[in-house]
Amino acid sequence: MTTNWVRSMALPAVAVGLAVLCLRVFLPFLDEILWSIVGTLLFLPVKRWYLRRHPGQENRAALIALAAMSVTLMLPMALLIVVAIDQVTALTQSLTSGRFNPAASLETTVAHLPESIRGPLARAGLGDFETIQSKLVAALGRGIPGFANQALALGGGVLNLLLSLTVILYLGFFFLRDGEKIARRFAVLAPIDAGYQALIGSTFVTVVRATVKGGILVALAQGAVGAVVLALLGVQSWLLLGIVMAVAALLPAVGTGLVWVPVSLYLFATGQAVQGVILVLCGLFVIGMVDNILRPMLIGSETKMPDFIVLLSTLGGVEAFGFDGLLIGPLVAALGQAVFTRILDRPKQAEPAIP
């Protein structure tokens, strides 16, 4: 009896142990696996479209869908590089020609400050430009080692990003080619009935597509609004800065502030205080609010979730998982809503009558 029990439990124990070991092995690549699955779901229609015209060519269909995915991933990076080169070139030309003189702009700004502000600055030893310049030079000298370390860290981060993109695209080919077969094989092992499997699968696909599409549309909207604000304020290169703002809008926490905060500081430093104040107010209450208004509307309309659930799940997901939380938060909320709604709506069995 004991021997039979041990034998019956041996295979499940081995399976669980192997699953834990596999999780440990693949844990460093969970982000890449997640976003590769996301890319697969987004570009799977491309593969299906090609297969309808050329049946049986699975490898070629997967490669064409992967090419579309690659262009979508690499295009924003190439755009950022072009914008960065353009901005650095323009700044260098401005400094060389004398059109942009930070020292004179700072001196003019300090001179035009009200006495209530210049007084405390003078008591702090910052009442004239020579003192400010010397303190800045000394601070830069002390900070050079830190800047060097940050530059090395930035270089390492770019390299890691490129490696992650390579892994995502590599996995994407196999997921595009064999993903549907793999999903069907694992569905057999799932300890839930086919109805719940179909519900979870359809909800997963819907939320992934709605979240990614909604995030891209929100980013484009924020970039467009930011570009219009910068153009009205007379900021040069407003179109390029709007494009950068759209890309930065995809980043959690910092978002579009990565662009409009430095621009507003530049406006203050060049004596354009009114424009600087307007840009800060627009950044906080116009550009920033686009995300809070549009994201729940775009995602909630497809996932059938209330707007406040979409907003809270997105913010909570970012707090818990970082950038991945933009997807994981709404996904968890939508799956929970779908499963619990089905459980609650399940017809109850009639209770036996009490004699």
CA neighbours closer than 13 Å in the CB half-sphere of residue 89 = 7
pLDDT at 190: 72
pLDDT at 350: 46
Cα angle value 155/160/163 (rounded, 5°) = 130
Give residue limits of the domains in the chain: 28-106+148-180, 191-344
DSSP-assigned letters across all residues of 226-285: HHHHHHHTT-TTHHHHHHHHHHHTTSSSSTTHHHHHHHHHHHHHTT-HHHHHHHHHHIII
What is the model's pTM?
A: 0.70
The confidence score (pLDDT) of residue 354 equals 46
Listed in sequence order, the DSSP H helices in 54-128 are 58-97, 102-111, 115-123
Residue 157, pLDDT score: 58
What is the DSSP track for 20-43? Answer: HHHHHHHGGGHHHHHHHHHHHHHH
Q: How many Å from the N-terminal Cα to the C-terminal Cα in the chain?
A: 43
pLDDT tens digit string along 112-154? 666 666 666 666 655 555 555 566 556 545 555 554 455 445 4
Q: Determine the 3-state secondary structure of 162 from DSSP.
A: helix
Locate 62 and state its tokens. 């997967």
pLDDT at position 147 is 46
Residue 313 · residue 332 · CB < 8 Å: yes
Half-sphere exposure of 56 (CA within 13 A, CB side): 0
pLDDT number for residue 154: 47
Q: How far is CA 69 from the centre of its chain?
A: 17
Helix (H, G, I), strand (E, B) or coil at 180: helix
How far apart CA 283 and CA 228 sit, in angstroms, is: 12
Q: pLDDT value at position 173?
A: 92
Looking at residue 13, its pLDDT comes to 82
Residue listed under structure tokens 């996995």? 171
User: 254 with 318: CB under 8 angstroms?
Assistant: no
pLDDT number for residue 267: 82
pLDDT per position in the chain (355 positions), as tens? 566 666 667 777 887 888 889 888 888 888 888 889 999 999 999 999 999 998 888 999 999 999 998 888 777 777 767 766 776 676 666 656 655 555 566 666 666 666 666 666 666 655 555 555 566 556 545 555 554 455 445 455 567 778 888 888 899 999 999 988 888 887 777 777 777 888 888 888 888 888 888 888 888 899 999 999 999 998 877 887 888 888 888 776 677 888 888 888 878 777 788 888 899 999 888 888 888 888 888 887 777 788 788 888 888 888 888 888 888 888 888 888 888 888 877 665 544 444 4
Residue 353: its pLDDT value, please?
46
Handedness of CA 176, 178, 179, 180 (dihedral sign): positive
